[in-house]
């Protein structure tokens, strides 16, 4: 496959590596720098920092003076507040800064900026002396939304992480980006098109001891929610069968190896037809190997960082995915194995809107419908019933109808 992608001419693609070997050596070097269990960047002592940078006492003293945060203070700036570090019990400015220090709102600002006016009015109402005043509930309501009991902290932060020395700087973390499928152009059919740019679907974090099957189970795709068969609507007595529950076959193609999902006895080997196709002609592809998805761990793989690999399911539904980073777990990362595999982020894609009202997201699609101008044609539920069904529930004209699950529904 290297003859197609030319990885040596693309700067963002690495050489073939076995990350476990590299990270194991790096882990040993990190452990050597840590003088005691539980050391991280927030509690390391100056003596240990001096050892890490390997400078003499005089130069280290100059570094401390140059890096002092007080050097950034300018005359007339607001009084600093003690912000919360999720990995440390205390503020990043230390105990010298009052945690609940409030900066008075100047009269000029209160009369000029509406935000300051509203805040000043809120403070006035919330500090009334009458304990029975209903406005007292304003303080309690706001404090419930904050990490600290201080109405100045309009911060959105994750819960505080409990640092674990046996986890952080020890576990191997793989960052994988999964992209949405795109339509391959077919020059024989004039109406086909192709999206030129890849669209990110998910960023998933896995640990080295996770299997490829663990990663596969975290990939969400709206195609798996499609109803298969004649029953296209769930009923109280019987749920409509979904494609993900009926067709569970799939493979991950990594470094010329097809890793098959064999967890279910009826799963099909999608890779064999590809291997046969590549071997029967002079296409300069292969040789290919086969592996088992549920028994192969990420720490056992050899691959290229930044190289496009493929996940295939539902017969021919292909997702490109790329391993973009391999590193040790840090103290700011989730500190529990139960948090992984972790869906770190999801991409944004425009929903398919109803082609009648252009207001609601489509929930039905019709094919070969002679009463509409496009094929296929997408409807929201209300427009589908109003346009395609008679009063008695029978069809108005001839067409095939299927439930449509939008990409943003998952």
Q: Return the C-alpha torsion angle 178, 180, 186, 190, nearest 10.
A: -160
For residue 367, what pLDDT band results from cuts at 50, 70 and 90? very high
Please give the Cα distance from 263 to 72 (Å, whole number).
58
Packing angle, helices 46-53 and 57-66, rounded to 10 = 110
The DSSP code sequence of 161-215 is P---TTTTTTSEEEEEEEE---PPP-TTSTT----SS--EEEEEEEETT-BHHHH
115 contacts: CB under 8 Å, gap ≥ 6: none
Q: What is the DSSP letter of 104?
A: P
Q: Identify the CATH assignment for 166-346 out of 3.30.460, 3.30.70, 3.40.50, 3.10.290.
A: 3.10.290
Choice among 5-9, 104-108, 301-305, 357-361 with the minimum mean pLDDT:
5-9
Q: Residue 57's CB: how many other CB atoms inside 10 A?
A: 8
For residue 260, what pLDDT band results from cuts at 50, 70 and 90? very high
Q: 277-297: buried (b, 16+ CB within 10 Å) or exposed (e) per residue?
A: eeeeeeeebeeeeebebeebe
Nearest to 219 by CA among 262, 192, 265, 250: 250
For residue 88, what pLDDT band results from cuts at 50, 70 and 90? very low
The tens digit of pLDDT for each residue in 175-194 reads: 999 998 876 665 555 555 55
Exposed / middle / buried, residue 70 (Cβ in 10 Å: 0-12, 13-18, 19+) = exposed
Packing angle, helices 46-53 and 19-33, rounded to 10 = 130
Please give the Cα distance from 327 to 342 (Å, whole number).
15
Q: CATH 3.10.290 occupies which residues in the chain?
A: 166-346
Choice among 76-80, 156-160, 244-248, 389-393 with the minimum mean pLDDT:
156-160
pLDDT value at residue 52? 73
Two tokens, residue 145? 């939304």
For residue 333, what pLDDT band results from cuts at 50, 70 and 90? confident
Which range, 76-85, 102-111, 115-124, 305-314, is most confident? 305-314
Considering the chain, what percentage of its residues have pLDDT values greater than 90?
29
The tens digit of pLDDT for each residue in 43-54 reads: 556 667 777 778
257-260 sheet: strands from edge to edge: 289-292, 257-260, 250-254, 308-313, 317-328, 172-179, 200-207, 342-346
Is the predicted pLDDT of residue 296 greater than 90, yes or no? yes
Average pLDDT of the chain is 80
Strand boundaries in 71-193, DSSP class E? 172-179
For residue 72, what pLDDT band results from cuts at 50, 70 and 90? confident
Please give the Cα distance from 389 to 383 (Å, whole number).
10
* Better-predicted residue by pLDDT, 9 or 27: 27
Is the predicted pLDDT of residue 36 greater than 60, yes or no? no
pLDDT value at residue 137? 63
pLDDT value at residue 363? 92
* Better-predicted residue by pLDDT, 76 or 310: 310
301 contacts: CB under 8 Å, gap ≥ 6: 18, 19, 254, 255
């Amino acid at each position: 496959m290297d003859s197609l992608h030319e990885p040596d001419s693309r700067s963002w693609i690495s050489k073939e590596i076995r990350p476990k070997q590299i990270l194991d050596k790096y882990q040993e070097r990190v452990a050597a720098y840590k003088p005691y269990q539980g050391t991280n960047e927030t509690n390391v002592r100056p003596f240990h920092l001096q050892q890490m940078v390997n400078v003499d006492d005089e130069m280290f003293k100059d570094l401390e003076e140059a890096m002092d945060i007080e050097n950034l203070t300018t005359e007339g700036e607001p009084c600093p507040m003690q912000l919360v570090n999720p990995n440390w019990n205390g503020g990043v400015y230390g105990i010298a800064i009052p945690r609940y220090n409030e900066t008075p709102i100047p009269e000029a600002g209160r009369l000029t900026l509406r935000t300051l006016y509203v805040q000043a009015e809120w403070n006035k109402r919330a500090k009334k002396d009458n304990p029975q005043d209903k406005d007292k509930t304003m303080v309690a309501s706001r404090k419930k939304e904050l990490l600290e009991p201080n109405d100045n902290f309009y911060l959105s932060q994750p819960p505080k992480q409990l640092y674990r020395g046996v986890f952080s700087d020890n576990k191997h973390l793989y960052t994988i980006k999964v992209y949405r499928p795109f339509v391959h152009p077919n020059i024989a059919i004039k109406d086909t098109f192709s999206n030129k740019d890849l669209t990110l679907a998910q960023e998933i974090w896995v640990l080295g001891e996770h299997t490829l099957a663990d990663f596969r189970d975290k990939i969400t795709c709206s195609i798996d929610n499609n109803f298969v068969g004649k029953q296209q609507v769930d009923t109280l007595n019987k749920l409509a069968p979904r494609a993900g529950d009926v067709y569970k076959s799939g493979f991950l193609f990594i470094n010329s190896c097809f890793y098959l999902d064999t967890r279910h006895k009826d799963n099909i080997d999608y890779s064999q037809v590809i291997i046969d196709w590549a071997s029967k002609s002079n296409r300069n592809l292969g040789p290919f190997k086969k592996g088992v998805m549920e028994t192969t761990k990420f720490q056992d793989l050899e691959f290229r960082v930044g190289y496009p690999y493929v996940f295939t399911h539902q017969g021919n539904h292909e997702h490109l995915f790329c391993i973009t980073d391999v590193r040790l777990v840090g103290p700011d990362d989730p500190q529990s194995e139960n948090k992984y595999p972790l869906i770190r982020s999801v991409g944004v894609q425009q929903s398919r809107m109803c082609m009648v009202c252009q207001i609601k997201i489509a929930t039905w699609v019709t094919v070969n419908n002679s009463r509409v101008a496009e094929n296929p044609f997408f409807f929201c539920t209300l427009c589908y019933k109003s346009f395609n069904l008679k009063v008695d529930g029978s069809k108005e004209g001839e067409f095939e109808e299927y439930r449509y699950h939008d990409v943003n529904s998952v």
